[in-house]
Amino acid sequence: MGRLLIIDAIAAVIVLGGWYFFFAAYNRRRGAEALRWVQSACAGKGRIVDFRWLNSSRLYARLQFPSRSFENARVTMKFRPRPLPVNWILSRVHKQKETLTFEADLGGSPSVRLDVIRHRWCAHSRGVISRKKDQRQWDIYEPGPIVLTTRTHWQEDLSPELNTLMTVRQQDVLQVRFRAESPQFSATIALDALDDPRTAAGFLTTLRELAAGASAHRQ
């Protein structure tokens, strides 16, 4: 009986080890492909200086731009934690996306701290059962912008940052942040968005548009 337990334990270690190395290699291939997307998105206006893996599912890279629009620029790519079975299952259950976060300093501190999280839809059920079993009729709305602020007095006119966010063309931006401390600007997008050549081509332009919104308000 004890020998069987030892054999089962060794077999489990071999299976989990094989799983880890196989999917760690898969994530590294995904990372190499994503780095090519980023380099293509820079379109000669920037380049990847170096990169390193923080763990089996997070890749960090430093970027360099000839102009001073972005300083200390870097990207962090978050992949599904495939090498770790439990974490991978949880990420699938919670429908977590693979993301790319761009961070940089702007050469001047924005006068406001602003966090924007993209929320596309909301819905509620009318409580009316349709003819099909276990289905309800839903009213779906696309909500307008919601601003949460700690200011005691909020100006009615939108700041340039908000105006830019309302008109930005990149529809896959999930989160944008402006703040006084480094990194002064960050934007998170769905990593798969860069798979589309047209979207990738406008990636850097989108970041420049978002960053330019803070240029009118410096400390």
Write the pLDDT tens digit of every residue in 69-109: 788 999 999 999 999 999 999 998 988 889 999 999 887 76
Confidence of residue 189 (pLDDT cuts 50, 70, 90): confident
Q: How many residues does the chain have?
A: 219
The pLDDT value given to residue 181: 84
Q: What residue spans define the domains of the chain? A: 2-212
Q: Are 173 and 186 in contact (CB under 8 A)?
A: no
Spacing of C-alpha 17 from chain mean position: 29
Both tokens assigned to 117? 């999280």
- What are the strands of the beta sheet with 58-64, ordered from one edge? 47-55, 58-64, 71-78, 99-105, 185-190, 173-178, 114-117
What's the whole-model pTM score? Answer: 0.76
**Could you tell me the CA-to-CA distances from 190 to 58, 127, 170, 173 in Å, in that order?**
14, 34, 11, 7
- Which of 11, 88, 33 lies closest to 56, judged by CA? 88
Residue written as tokens 């089996």?
56
Cis peptide preceding 160, ω within 30 of 0: no
Kindly provide the residue ranges of all beta strands, DSSP E only, lying in 42-179, ordered along the sequence: 47-55, 58-64, 71-78, 99-105, 114-117, 122-129, 136-141, 173-178
Residue 15 corresponds to which tokens in the numbers above? 């299976």
Place of tokens 């890279």: 61
pLDDT tens digits for 130-167? Answer: 555 555 566 666 566 566 666 666 665 555 556 556 55
In the 8-state DSSP scheme, what is residue 158? P
